[in-house]
Amino acid sequence: MAEVLSQLGIRYVSLTPGASYRGIHDSIVNYLGNDNPQMVLCLHEEHAVALAHGYAKVTGEPLAVALHSNVGLMHAIMAIYNAYCARVPMLILGATGPIDASLRRPWIDWIHTAADQGAMIRNFSKWDDQPGSVSATMEALLRANVITRTYPSAPTYVCVDSTLQESPCPEDLKMPDVERYHPVPVQSPSELLVDEIADRLSNAKRPLVLMGRVGRNEQAWQERIQLADAFGTYVLTNIKDGSVFPTGHAANPIPPMNNISKAGGRLIRNADVILALDWVDLASAFRQAYGTDPVDAYVISCSSDFVLHNGWSKDHFGLAPTDLAVATHPDALVAALITKAKKTDSSERWDGDSIELDERANFEDDGQIMCSTLARSLREALDGRSATFAALPLGWSGHDLDVSHPLDYLGGDGGGGVGYGPGGTVGVALALEGTGRIAIGILGDGDFLMGSSALWTAVHYKLPLLIIVANNRSFHNDEVHQYRMAVMRGRPIENRWLGQYIREPDPDLAAIARSYGLKGYGPIDDPSELTDVLAQAIKEVEAGAAVLVDVRVGVGGYPGEEMIADRGGTAKKVN
């Protein structure tokens, strides 16, 4: 079984150890020599999965993740959901105590054996199996590899009986020819379909492309630029998807959005042909742009995401009106479309003068560090170096995101599960090793505190990275929700902090980082110091260190606050 993993070319297996997979563990160490895959030890299963998630975002390749029976899988579940919603490949190895009850050790093997562990994650994994023999396990690993890598990707899970792991291999066991089991390649769209879409775009007066979940390679990036230029389209992007189109390009005047901004909504509403490239939650984008009016643009939607929709999680989102559906990878459609381009003058875009930009949500404030101040200081401190933002905090505005390469920013956690940031950033650092790019995770304090022990792994494996905590000393996103409730119910908004503030005591984030072997700076609350501290941290990261900078940030302009019209209240203030 270890041999199959090795031949699949899976470079690392992230794990938190457990007796249920002690057989495979031993084979990886003493049969494979802890190489290909090499173990990456994590202090929590949620981090092992987040690490593989971050790695896959950079490389498009799955890591293996080994999870102990029952409890290890339970610890990992939220992170698996994040990875599923992010549509990243991942080969998860589970284990169970002996299915043959007569072989169970007292107590522990009984509580760590379950009839169907896959059931715990079947609603948000792409395929799972609990094979009954060594050869069936080898086949299951091959299938798990094929399925997880086939577009659209999502984690697969193979649960291996500990008895199978620990018994001698059958004498007649044959190794499968791994070379003959490949992921299903993306199908190019038919010539007819491509012609029709090219005609629609060419004849459109106001074409718009919604750049959603697209590939992260440089060729596809260039082809998207060619598409926008050759067909004279505008482009919209979403801050959850990572860098998909250069922010400085004339086709892309509106900063990456979280929800559809007013300016983005105007552009959508004015477009007559919309090409959506696997845009996450297209129906809500239309609702935000059109309200209750019918969508009068001709809508072409390119996505194969429906193959993963099973109705359990509503990550299929609303059903968007679609005039032409294309079931392929958006990169394949774009590559085909640019060969059909008829327009040549890319400077002619429709109605360009009328695009008004939205006001900046994340304003700067004298004396306080705001996320915008942090963005500006970080840009100065990086001084042109290549960096990859592995994660951004919830309060980050698209106005503060400049991207010119597909690896500049990798997008959100997928499933909205807080605690992804530290583990995800470590996985990104692992994937970026040797590229010269600096892995940077800018994390909320809540996200950091939930996942902080993931950073030990970075230090242990000598992975340079920079963690910046945008520390508002609160689960602030939910304070905003309490503002809303207060306004809705006429309660005092002053009470919004209860059950939200992470203060008294203020956790010492730099000390936590130092305890895991990172260098730790902060808390920094003086804007005039910030650039120098970040520049120093970056120098240390370049020299190979893992560094954390705790930055105290203000919260003005946090998304959602503008929706709170009336801050008055009537009920009694609670202390």
Which residues of this chain interact with ligand TPP, rule CB under 6 A? 78, 393-395, 416-419, 444-447, 472, 474-478
Q: Which parts of 426-445 interact with Mg ion (CB under 5 A)?
A: 444-445
* 200 and 265 Cβ atoms separated by less than 8 Å: no
Q: List C-alpha distances in Å: 476 to 196, 270, 451, 557.
A: 48, 35, 17, 12
Angle at 281 between CA 278 and CA 284, to 5 degrees: 140
One-letter amino acid for residue 297 of the chain: A
Helix (H) or strand (E) holding 440: strand 438-444
Whose structure tokens read 């003058």? 345
Q: Closer to Mg ion at the Cβ: 301 or 474?
A: 474
- Of 476, 491, 519, 552, the one binding Mg ion by CB under 5 A: 476
Residue 150 β-bridge partners:
none
Q: Which parts of 38-67 interact with Mg ion (CB under 5 A)?
A: none
Q: Which parts of 208-237 interact with Mg ion (CB under 5 A)?
A: none
One-letter amino acid for residue 328 of the chain: T
Q: Is 472 one of the binding residues for Mg ion (CB under 5 A)?
A: yes
From CA 422, how far away is CA 458, in angstroms rounded?
A: 10
Q: Closer to ligand TPP at the Cβ: 212 or 421?
A: 421
Partner that binds at residue 478, options ligand TPP, Mg ion, none, CB closer than 5 to 8 Å by kind: ligand TPP
Q: Is 500 one of the binding residues for Mg ion (CB under 5 A)?
A: no
Pair type for strands 519-524 and 546-552: parallel
Q: Is 491 one of the binding residues for Mg ion (CB under 5 A)?
A: no
Partner that binds at residue 416, options ligand TPP, Mg ion, none, CB closer than 5 to 8 Å by kind: ligand TPP
- Least separation, in Å, of the C-beta of 457 and ligand TPP? 20
- Rounded to the nearest 5°, which phi and psi values hold at 250? -60, -25
- Least separation, in Å, of the C-beta of 447 and ligand TPP? 4
Q: Is 266 one of the binding residues for Mg ion (CB under 5 A)?
A: no
* 510 and 522 Cβ atoms separated by less than 8 Å: yes
- Least separation, in Å, of the C-beta of 99 and ligand TPP? 33
From CA 256, how far away is CA 275, in angstroms rounded?
A: 17
Interacting residues of 157 by C-beta distance below 8 A, sequence separation 6+: 92, 93, 94, 118, 121, 125, 127, 128, 129, 144
What is the full DSSP assignment across 7-38? HTT--EEEE---GGGHHHHHIIIIIS-S-SSE
Q: Closer to ligand TPP at the Cβ: 478 or 542?
A: 478
Q: Closer to ligand TPP at the Cβ: 152 or 523?
A: 523
From CA 472, how far away is CA 413, in angstroms rounded?
A: 20
Partner that binds at residue 96, options Mg ion, ligand TPP, none, CB closer than 5 to 8 Å by kind: none
- Least separation, in Å, of the C-beta of 470 and Mg ion? 7
- Least separation, in Å, of the C-beta of 473 and ligand TPP? 8
Partner that binds at residue 419, options ligand TPP, Mg ion, none, CB closer than 5 to 8 Å by kind: ligand TPP
Q: How many CB atoms lie within 10 A of CB 351?
A: 13
Q: Closer to Mg ion at the Cβ: 90 or 513?
A: 513
Q: Closer to ligand TPP at the Cβ: 419 or 424?
A: 419
- Least separation, in Å, of the C-beta of 479 and ligand TPP? 8
Q: Is 496 one of the binding residues for Mg ion (CB under 5 A)?
A: no
* 395 and 362 Cβ atoms separated by less than 8 Å: yes
Q: Is 452 one of the binding residues for Mg ion (CB under 5 A)?
A: no
Q: How many CB atoms lie within 10 A of CB 42?
A: 26
Partner that binds at residue 417, options ligand TPP, Mg ion, none, CB closer than 5 to 8 Å by kind: ligand TPP
- Least separation, in Å, of the C-beta of 553 and Mg ion? 8
* List of residues contacting Mg ion (CB under 5 A): 444-446, 472, 474, 476
